[in-house]
Structure 1
Amino acid sequence: MGLRRFALVAVWLVCATPAFAEAARLAQQGPEAGRSLVVEHQYADINGIRMHYVTHGAGEPILFLHGFPEYWGIWKKQIEDLGKDHQVIAPDMRGYNLSSKPAGVEPYHIEHLVADIRALADHLKIKQFTLVAQDWGALVGWSFVLRHPEYVRRFVTINITHPALFNRDLRENAEQQQASQYMLLFRSPEAESFIMADDYAFGRQGMIDAARQLGAQISAEDEAEMIAAWKQPGATTGGLNYYRAAEIGPPDGQGSQGGSNLVDGLAPWQLQVYLPVLFIHGEMDPYLLPSGQVGLEQYVHDLTFRRIPDADHSVTLEKPALVTQFLREFMLEN
């Protein structure tokens, strides 16, 4: 999420009436609004936390990682379709929804987030899987691929580039620095009050309504479940601690050159990726700019791009059928 969208949210809150908002919500739900996906809810005691996850279907495994401010349900459409012939697993990452929310910033360092994914795979006795991720989940996904490529058969990233390239742009690219100013806010002590203000208006209008404006069909049930996930005690701080632990963002004017610590400690050879990678890009995303993709082929040696001109940041919500189509095509080809 970025500061430009925050301004749009503020205008929406001033101008909209409850009646108008309700009418718009009902008009955009679509014919499948009342359908409910049936999944199996499980918990895994792993890596010092209790991780909640859902599973659906059987067959070759696919693991989905959500971003901020999300939860496992961001992948419902993909779970429903791909679960017809795959074992689909979607966790609430640490700090979110029904998973543990350790206190403090250090437990959200990338080494712990990566260890969670490895421990979940071991818990499920899965030796190799397709990894699909977006937003913060994709930063964790890249970090997992760089450290444990033996677990991953294929990797799908939505909008997020290789962390070494993201670091480069956060340090050197003025447009990406401007687009990422929100990261400094998210790392600040004021972040929680901002996210939770006006009954989570940030997520309601900045994410849910923004996605609906681009064609997303989000049912009342799914909207309520998403908001309930945000309101889980400690979940807002848990999600924000990803930003704080990674020290991610543009230069802060106080001595930091920008970037993150996500690839700290990795040797140059560890930054190379040889497994098949699919990059799905919503070209309207104002926060993750295409400049970060320049040079990606120097790190990824089996790379496929799929671009969606009329998608924004929340591609999984906005274009679920197209995302699923791209996933199926990529898995068939690789």
Structure 2
Amino acid sequence: MKVSVTRFGFAQVGELQWHYAAAGHQDEPLILFLHGFPEYWGVWRAQIEAFASQFHCVAPDLTGYNLSSKPKEVARYRTARLVDDVAAFAGLFRQKRKFTLVAHDWGGALAWAFAIKHPEQLDRLIIINAVHPGAFQREVARNPAQASASQYIHALRAPDAEIQYAADDYALLWRSFAEVEAAGQLSPELRAGLRSAWSQEGTLTGMFNWYRAMRLTPPRGADASAETSTQYPDSAMMVKVPTLVLWGLRDHALLPGCVEGLEQWVPDVTVQTFADYGHWISLETPDLVTGAMRAWLSGSSDGAGSATAVTAG
């Protein structure tokens, strides 16, 4: 049974305010949805409506996005600070219980970091096309194709990124959603929501500040022999939470190597790949993603270990 998004609000997160959308009964287990770049809470509408009959579903606009606060200091977008934001926000809804975290892209990078720091707060973790920091560190150092594919990060860190990406009615941002549009899933509602989010004062700077604050950046150029800007030991990247990774293999920015060997850092991981979809798989084929999430959430994670299933979309 689908339950429409019916509640919107603002929550105090430290010195910031986060805007959020919610559905489902507040006494049900919490699922927290974290969007990526260049998105807003509305990209999760299909999943919220699918799970709100059994869970309390909450999807915020992350720091710097849409209707949430947009601090000007780049340092405020460091991952450690953003993890604290998530912890403060989740604490308002989880009623001291463990919760499920679902995340895509930058939201996924944040979710990985949250799971590393706060495993005791999580019941399950679901990641959609967001690379684990250990895998990213390995791939940009050893795989020339990934080092080349990651060069876009430097463009998004550039001082004039706002000007470049606002030009021609956000043409470069719309280009990111070409596969979603080709799949017939860039609805008028989603298109209007994205445009409205990007048009909020300070949002473009807030979005790009996530990239400007990155510590783990690829070497410039496709020199895979160079190291990333920061090196983390494996011991600092362990995820001790049952984890499902859903991955569209046609992702042009995060190549298939990003999901290889994840059990090195995530002992209890299930990786499900989809050959016919790309980075925006949760938008391209929402029913398929929702079904995979539901099947995994309804199963037992105890002793699940590492498994990889390949699904041709």
TM-score > 0.5, shorter chain as reference: yes
Q: 2:20 — aligned with what?
A: 53
Q: CA deviation at 1:38?
A: 3.3
Structure 2 residue identity aligned to 1:113 = L
CA distance in 2, matches of 1:73, 1:201: 20
Correspondence 1:271 to 2:237: yes
Q: 2:172 — aligned with what?
A: 202
Q: CA deviation at 1:302?
A: 1.1
Q: CA deviation at 1:110?
A: 0.5
Q: CA deviation at 1:248?
A: 4.1
SS in 1 for 2:167: helix
TM-score (norm 1): 0.83
Correspondence 1:220 to 2:197: no
Spell out, residue by residue over 1:38-77, the C-alpha distance to the aligned partner (whole angstroms, 9 max, x if none): 3211111112100111110022111100000000001000
Does the 8 Å contact 2:9/2:21 carry over to 1?
yes
CA distance in 2, matches of 1:322, 1:100: 33
Q: CA deviation at 1:154?
A: 0.6
Q: CA deviation at 1:116?
A: 0.6
Does the 8 Å contact 1:252/1:258 carry over to 2?
no
Spell out, residue by residue over 1:59-116, the C-alpha distance to the aligned partner (whole angstroms, 9 max, x if none): 2111100000000001000011111211001010000000000002100001111001
CA distance in 2, matches of 1:260, 1:280: 27
Spell out, residue by residue over 1:222-268, the C-alpha distance to the aligned partner (whole angstroms, 9 max, x if none): 21111100111111111111111014432126x9945365x85xx74
Structure 2 residue identity aligned to 1:301 = P
Correspondence 1:82 to 2:51: yes
Q: 1:310 — aligned with what?
A: 276
Which residue among 113, 117, 121 is the counterpart of 1:143? 113
Q: CA deviation at 1:201?
A: 1.0
CA distance in 2, matches of 1:260, 1:134: 23
Q: 1:25 — aligned with what?
A: none
Q: CA deviation at 1:293?
A: 2.0
Q: Where in structure 1 are there 5+ consecutive unaligned residues? A: 1-34
TM-score (norm 2): 0.88
Correspondence 1:122 to 2:122: no
Write the mapping of 1:174-253 to structure 2, written as runs, cut at 5 A: 174-207=144-177, 209-213=178-182, 215-252=183-220
RMSD over equivalenced CA pairs, Å: 2.1
Q: Count how many residue pairs are aligned between Structure 1 and Structure 2.
A: 294
Which residue among 245, 254, 259 is the counterpart of 1:288? 254
Q: CA deviation at 1:131?
A: 0.6
CA distance in 1, matches of 2:64, 2:6: 21
Higher relative contact order (CA 8 A, sep 6+): 1
Structure 2 residue identity aligned to 1:242 = W
